[in-house]
Structure formats: structure tokens, C-alpha cells
Amino acid sequence: TTTINNAVQDAENDEYVINLNAETYQITANTVLNAGTYKPNIIINANSQTLSANSNTKYTRFNNGCNITINDALITQRIQNYANNIIISNSNITNQVTNRPDMNLTLINSSITATLTNTQGNTVLENSYIDAKISNTGNLTITEDNILGENFSITGEGNVITNRTDLAPYLNSYNGVYTLENMVISTNKKNYGNLTIINSTITGTLSNYGNLTIINSTISETIKNYEYGNIMIYDSILDNVICQSENNYLKIHNSNVSWISIHGSAILEKSCINGSSYNYGNLTICDDVIFGDSFILSNSGNIITNRTDLAIYLTVLNGTYTLENIVITVAKDNYGNLTIRNATIDAQINNYGNLTIGDDVIFGEHCFLNEFSPITIDDKSRIFPYMRVLNGKYTLENMNISYINNYGELTVLNSTFERGFHNYGDFTLRDSVTNGTIYTNGTLLIVNSTINSQINTLDQCTLILGDNITIGETFAIKGDGIVITNDTEKFLSYMPTFSGNITLENGTFTENKINYGNLTLINYTTKRITNEGNLTVLNSTLNGEYTNNENLIILNSTINQQITNNGILTITNSTINNKINNNGTLKLEGDIELGISFSLTGDGQIIADDGVMSKIFRYLTAFYGENTVELGDYGYSSINNYGKLTIINSEISNNANTITNNANSELTLINTKSIISTTNNGRLELKNSTISGTLENNGILIISDDSTLGYGLRITGNGEIIINDTQRLADCLTTYNGNFV
């Protein structure tokens, strides 16, 4: 190491020859040979000596830019080539060798049994024994005279330059022209060139970015075809093929394939396909293709075929098809024109196009029909028991109904609902019984019926409760829909929402409510209420959170839970035991009592009598508006004034942190003592008051004759000071840039 470091500082010699004697050449720490002033050629004749380290993780890093030759060495330490051209000849390497980007490394007549990493460099292996894993992302040259050991393999996507024909099995990435024949391929492979596999068994994943041909082989793992890849498969047995891109091509000939997924273009000819497959691209199916028992094709792409029996296997139909003399066991989505006659439907059909069902069709045990678009049949009563989605104008009578989704106009007479009903359209129920939950997003009218279930009103839909309704034991109304009825008292306790003009007295809400109308509650105990209209609460107890988005008036009541106000909230003669989050306008009037859990947040407007404002003042983060407050002995939060504020008969201690009077604001202290830091950017007037601490004045400061400038007062700033006796300020000013009047 010392000799090499000296060599790069030597101007006299262009070449250094270092001969090693019979000694110990061991590093005990990572060694970096950095560049010097010169770059001589350095030849190390090791003479069979060992270049070792006290740990197999220690390395020597060649970073000096010289041409290095190492002859006749046993190398058991790690070698890193960072800035050199290195040749190692007639040596035995048992530890890792790394060749960094754009560097040159050559092994001649040597043995390497440890990992060789060629990271975007140039590595040449010549007449050597290679029993190591090579990671190559650069250029790797392997001459024909190398011997490959049983642990030899190459990973990475770099270039491999060689004339050897036996190298292909050791690669995991192919960039040239290669043929693999009569092999078991158990590792994952990537092809960027032209790869042919013949008479082989493949148990690893194949990823193709180039041209891949497979002949007479068995593949039990996935083949993936990427952008601009082309795959040709002949006389083979396949597990599955996935074509990931629109710009690729696949041809399968005389083969047996489990399933395929197509995004590009594919041709199936003289083959058998057995499993569920997917077409999102362009698929050509020749006449000689055999469809296995489990074959299903989910299709949203284009199919080119003369096969008239293909519709049986399709899950998505986009064209014009007729199915007859068959049993339909594959679920289908019809977007085209589908006619079914003299057949059995034993699967689910979702109709988004035109579906015509003949009178001779049999409906099997697994038949379900979803009418997202109208279904045509002469006798519609035949299909009602199998329909799950209705999208027309129907009247059902004398039926036991379950699992129906109505998107159209449905009238049900003298029937029973058991479970699973969803209404998205217009639904009228007469002379019937409901035993299962009804979900409605549309308009639901119930007349002369028994409701023994829950009704969920969603998305502000409309529920109309007509005459002669019997309420069952499990009747309940949930959701935020609008409930309309002529018998408010009967349904009141069940209604989640209110509309119209309603006054309720002497009751309790046990569920959450939403008000869209004009609601007055007198002597009520309530849970959570959301107000979207006009709500007045008198002589009541609020035990749930309120959210007010319009107008809320609370009088003579007790508030035990949070109120979030986004509209106009007026509280009069009440006790507030919880937080008010005010984002709108808050009016506080009369006798307001504040409980120990009261707090006030938000940046909305607050309008209050002077007495009430004095009570809530310590909860304000900022003051807006115009008020006179009497704070007494005040030692709470900072005072931040944006309005016109007068503080009287108070003593503001240093526990209050600071007073800030903002620009365009007015603050007047009358008969008040303040000993805290004050910043004035507006108009600050002292009347018969005492001020101490620091005062930064950048606005207008008016000091009356009867005000006291307290001990330790320091005034700074560049604002205007109005005072009759300027000499009083002498002890308060150190440096002041403003004007005195």
C-alpha cells in the first residue's frame, strides 16, 4: 500500500514493479488507494503470496487511475476497481470482485470462486476457471477458452460478448440470438433479443420484450409479453400467457393452454384453451380451436372469428347474438342485442342493451336477471321471481319479494317484502307487508300497509307515509331523507328528518335528527341534531352535538355537548357546559352561565352584551366588533384586538402574556392597570390607567394626565405619542423614532 501511494507521487518513473517476498500481506481495515499527481503503470508480482484481510468483508479499493497488473496471487480479500484498469493473471480469487462504471477489469488464466459484480463497467474473462455468480449490467466478454464451474451463472441485463454456444443456459437476460434446447429451465428469464426454446421444461417466469419462440415445450409458469414483444408458441403445453401491452403480438398454434390475458393482438389456431381468459385487445380465434369444459372469455376487446358457438363462453356481449338449444351456465353482461330462445338460463345475466327472451326459455336454479336496460318477454310475470334489478314500469301483485333493486317505476300490491330491497327510482307500496330492511335513494310511497322493518332513507330522498299504516315492532326510519306524512304525531319518534312547520313539546329524542324545515322544540331532551333550516330550542337539555348550518335559537336551556355553528346561532339565558366552534355569527344575550367545560373556538363573528362579553373574553383568541368589558383581575390568554375595545376597572397581570392592538383597531384602557408587554399598531388610549412593562408603539398612543407610567416601563417604536407633559416620558425612552405631540 505504501509503495503504491508513493508511486503516484513520483515524477521520475512511469512504471513501478513491486515484487512480494514471503511475508504476510494482510489488511486490517478497508483500504482506499486514492489518486496522486501521476499515474504510472504498477505491476505487482505476488510470487504466490496471499493478499488477505482479517475479515472477509474488508476490501482494497483501487481509486488512483493507474494501470494495475497483479500476477500470481492468492486473493482472499475483496477487490474494488473504482478508477483503474486492472489485469489479474495467474491468480486464485476467493472473495468478491467489483468493477465500477466505465472501468476495465481483465482476468487471465485465473480462478474465481466468489461473486463478480460488473456494474456498468467492462469486464473480460479469458482462459480462466469461473465458478462464481456474475452480476452484469455493463459489458461482459467471455472467451471460448474459459471453464465454467457448476456454480457459474449470470444475472443482470448487461451485454454479454462471446462466441460460446453453451452460455445461454447460464443467462437470465438475453440480448442477442439464443436457442435453448432439451433443458429444464427453473430460473426466471428476460428476453430482449431473439430467443428460441425447443423441447424444454420451463418452471420459471418468462418475460419477453423481444422475439420469443417456444416449440414442443411444457411451461408451468407464467409467460409475460411486454411492450413490442412478439411470442410464437407451437406444439406446447402452457399454464398461462399474459400480454401486458397494446403493442405486442401472440400466436399459439397446436398447443394446450390453461388461460390467456390479452391486451395486444393474439391468434389462437388449432389449439385447446381450458380456463377463464381475458381479452382487452384484438383476439382472433380460428375454427379449429377447442374450448375446454372450464373455458370462459371475459371480453371487452375485439374478437375476430367465424365460430357461432363462442357466445356461450363470453361473459361480455357487444354485438348481435342468438343463443338457442343450450344451457347457459356462464354469467353474462349484455351491451348489444341478445336473443335467447329454446334454452335454459342457469346463470346471472346483466342487461345493458337489448335482451329478448322467448316463451320457451327455462329458468334454472341459478338464474338471476338484472334489468339495467329493458328486457323483452311476452309474459313478464315469468321472469319476476328471477329479477334482481328492475328498470321499467312494473306492477307486481300477490308476490313474496326478496333482493330487488328498482331503478324504474314499481308498484307493489298485496305482497310481502322479506329482505334485500333497494329503491333508486319511484316505488309505491300498497296493501302489503315489509319484514326486511328497505333502502331508498328515490321516492317511496307507502299506503295501507304494515311496516315491520327498518327504512333507510339515503341522499335526501323522499319517503311518503300515507294513510292506514300499521307500525310493526321493528319499524324504524334511518338516514337523512325527507319524511312527508299527514300524521306527524304517529311517526314523530321514528322520523330522522323534519320538514315543514313542526312544534314538539315535552319529549325526548333517542336518535340523531336532521331539520330541513321550521322546527320548535319545547321542554325536550335531545341527542345529535343537524340543522339545515330554522330550529328553535326552548327550556330544553341538549345532550347531543349540534351542527347549525342555518338559523338556531336556544333559550332558557342547558347545553351539555359541543355546538358547531356555520350559520347564525343565538343563545339567550342559557347555561353552556361545552365547546362552541363558531364559524358563523354567534349572538349571546341575557344571563349566560359558563360551565367548567366551556370553550370557544373558530373565527366567526361574536355579538354579545358587555356583561356577557366580559364573561367570555378570556376564551377569545381574538376580539372583533365593539364592546366595553370589565375583566377584573385578568390573567388568562393574550388580548388580541381587531375591533373597538374598551377595558374598564381591570388589572391585567403578566399571566396574560401580551396585549396586541392591531392596525385600524382601537383599544382604550380606563381605570385599568396593565403590567404586561403591549404592542400597538392602531390607536391606544390610556385614561386614568397604569401601564408597565414594554410598549412597542407603531400607531397612535394617547396618555392622559391622570395615567401613571409604571416602574420599568420601556417605550419603543416609530409611532406618534400624544401627551401633555413629554418630560414624563424621559425615563421610559431609550431609543424612540416616532413623534411627540
Confidence of residue 521 (pLDDT cuts 50, 70, 90): very high
Between CA 307 and CA 119 the distance in angstroms is 53
Q: Assess whether pLDDT exceeds 90 at residue 337.
A: yes
Q: List, edge to edge, every strand of the sheet that includes 337-341.
A: 320-324, 337-341, 354-357, 375-376
Confidence of residue 91 (pLDDT cuts 50, 70, 90): very high
Between CA 158 and CA 140 the distance in angstroms is 7
Note the pLDDT tens digit of each residue in 681-703.
999 999 999 999 899 999 999 99
State residue 98's pLDDT score: 96
Q: Are 454 and 437 in contact (CB under 8 A)?
A: yes
Confidence of residue 639 (pLDDT cuts 50, 70, 90): very high
Cβ-Cβ contacts under 8 Å for 43 (sequence gap 6 or more): 15, 16, 17, 18, 69, 71
Of 246, 244, 243, 245, the residue nearest 268 (C-alpha): 243
Q: Assess whether pLDDT exceeds 70 at residue 78.
A: yes
* H/E stretch holding 74: strand 67-75
Of 633, 642, 644, 639, the residue nearest 685 (C-alpha): 644
Q: Around Cβ 740, how many Cβ atoms within 10 Å?
A: 11
Between CA 212 and CA 382 the distance in angstroms is 54
State residue 688's pLDDT score: 96
Note the pLDDT tens digit of each residue in 340-395.
999 999 999 999 999 999 999 999 999 999 999 989 999 888 998 899 999 988 89
Q: Assess whether pLDDT exceeds 90 at residue 241.
A: no
Strands (E), 378-500: 387-390, 393-397, 400-406, 409-413, 416-423, 426-430, 433-434, 438-440, 443-447, 450-451, 454-457, 462-465, 470-471, 476-479, 482-485, 497-498
Between CA 228 and CA 69 the distance in angstroms is 45
Confidence of residue 224 (pLDDT cuts 50, 70, 90): very high
Cell numbers for 487? 300524521
Structure pTM? 0.58
Q: Assess whether pLDDT exceeds 70 at residue 741.
A: no
Note the pLDDT tens digit of each residue in 397-452.
998 888 899 999 999 999 999 888 999 999 999 999 999 999 999 999 999 999 99
Q: Region 593-605: what's the mean pLDDT?
A: 91
Q: Assess whether pLDDT exceeds 80 at residue 649.
A: yes
Q: Assess whether pLDDT exceeds 90 at residue 232.
A: yes
Average pLDDT, the chain: 91
Confidence of residue 7 (pLDDT cuts 50, 70, 90): low
Phi, psi of 218 (to 5 degrees): -120, 125
Q: Is 695 left (phi over 0), alpha (psi -120 to 50) or beta?
A: beta
Cell numbers for 395? 306492477
Cβ-Cβ contacts under 8 Å for 588 (sequence gap 6 or more): 571, 572, 606, 607, 608, 609, 612, 613, 616
Between CA 552 and CA 311 the distance in angstroms is 63
Burial readout 341-359 (b: 16 or more C-beta within 10 A, e: otherwise): eebbbebbbbbbbbbebee
Confidence of residue 536 (pLDDT cuts 50, 70, 90): very high
Q: Region 15-19: what's the mean pLDDT?
A: 88
Of 217, 221, 216, the residue nearest 206 (C-alpha): 221
Between CA 74 and CA 53 the distance in angstroms is 12
Note the pLDDT tens digit of each residue in 703-727.
999 999 988 899 999 999 999 988 8
Q: Assess whether pLDDT exceeds 80 at residue 676.
A: yes
State residue 172's pLDDT score: 85
Between CA 176 and CA 579 the distance in angstroms is 74
Q: Region 23-30: what's the mean pLDDT?
A: 91
Note the pLDDT tens digit of each residue in 389-405.
999 888 989 988 888 99
Of 400, 465, 478, 385, the residue nearest 428 (C-alpha): 465
Confidence of residue 246 (pLDDT cuts 50, 70, 90): confident
The answer to which of 236-245, 270-279, 571-580, 667-676 has the lowest mean pLDDT is: 236-245
Q: Assess whether pLDDT exceeds 70 at residue 539.
A: yes
Q: Region 513-537: what's the mean pLDDT?
A: 94
Confidence of residue 126 (pLDDT cuts 50, 70, 90): very high
State residue 251's pLDDT score: 95
State residue 734's pLDDT score: 67
State residue 721's pLDDT score: 93
Q: Assess whether pLDDT exceeds 70 at residue 657.
A: yes
Share of the chain above pLDDT 90, in %: 65
Cell numbers for 314? 363470453
Cell numbers for 697? 408603539
